Amino acid sequence: MRDLKKKVVSTTVLFIAGNHDMIRNVTYEELEEGNWPGYLNNRFVDIPNTDIRIIGINGWYDYSFASNVAKSKSDFYHWKQTYWIDSQISQPMSDIERENIVLQELEKQLIAAKNPSKKVIVMTHFVPNQKFIRYTKDFRFWNMANAMMGSVRFQALIDQYAVDSVIFGHIHNRYAPMKIKATWYYNGAVGYHNHHHNEWQSADFITEWQHQLKFIQIN
């Protein structure tokens, strides 16, 4: 974050936390209420001289993207604890309860944006629409992992309030901007580059990041 701000000194940099950030010695309470410069979770920023409001929400999941797998909530939880990186994230409640809090906060922010008739950009980490979820008949691991991707209830709120744009990460597929119903979706995830996975198409982070940048025109 500090390095990015040094490179774009004339630009306001806003950020939220993804699941890999959440394993780095940070508590649930800090993630919810943190006041780091530029941290936007559960907050909003109005862009001066426009009717644009950026709402930040880290997001979470409730297993609903894995509805094609005949498993219980307990099954998904124990699979997560065994195989998924999020098992290292501390939280004082279940995944379902955590997602309920996310949805309550998101709806509160969307309702508040209606009164001044703001055009809303939601910035989140987890997958905001089932269109981006990959289902397969021959890769069981990925079908189980879909449970930790996001929530159809989050998607329903985006549709209900006709959000203008959503910026998200989490999945590492490369998607061009896509419009679904009233909403434009922008995925900017850079993906892995290590000895287990190499998803980059260039040799260094800055170049890969630049290739994944998405621009939203503000009129």
Coil, strand, or helix at residue 179? strand
Contact at 8 Å (CB) between 171 and 150? no
Overall average pLDDT of the 34-61 stretch: 96
Residue 219 lies in a domain: no
d(CA 54, CA 120) in angstroms, rounded, equals 6
For a pLDDT cut of 90, what percent of the chain falls above it?
A: 71
Residue 187 lies in a domain: yes
| The predicted structure's pLDDT at residue 143 | 92
Beta strands at 43-46 and 52-57: parallel, antiparallel or unpaired: antiparallel
Number of structural domains found in the chain: 1
Residue 162 lies in a domain: yes
d(CA 144, CA 125) in angstroms, rounded, equals 19
- From the list 150, 153, 144, 152, the residue with the least C-alpha distance to 69 is 144
| The predicted structure's pLDDT at residue 5 | 54
Contact at 8 Å (CB) between 192 and 198? yes
| The predicted structure's pLDDT at residue 197 | 77
User: Diameter of the chain by CA atoms?
Assistant: 51
For 47-66, b where at least 16 C-beta lie within 10 A, e where not — what string? eeeeebbbbbbbbbbbbbbb
The pLDDT tens digits of the residues spanning 111-138 come to 999 989 999 999 999 999 999 999 988 7
Domain span holding position 40: 2-212
Mean pLDDT rounded to a whole number for the chain: 92
Residue 179 lies in a domain: yes
The pLDDT tens digits of the residues spanning 133-170 come to 999 887 788 899 999 999 999 999 999 999 999 999 99
Overall average pLDDT of the 80-106 stretch: 96
Q: What is the CATH number of the domain that holds 150?
A: 3.60.21
CA torsion angle for 117, 216, 57, 162 (degrees, to 10)? Answer: 40
Q: Note the residue count of the chain.
A: 219
d(CA 94, CA 199) in angstroms, rounded, equals 31
- From the list 185, 140, 144, 194, the residue with the least C-alpha distance to 166 is 185
d(CA 66, CA 3) in angstroms, rounded, equals 37
Residue 172 lies in a domain: yes
The pLDDT tens digits of the residues spanning 168-194 come to 999 988 889 999 999 999 998 888 887
Residue 218 lies in a domain: no
The amino acid at 81: Q
| Structure tokens belonging to residue 35 | 């006041």
Identify the bridge partners of residue 53 per DSSP, sorted by sequence position.
120
Residue 217 lies in a domain: no
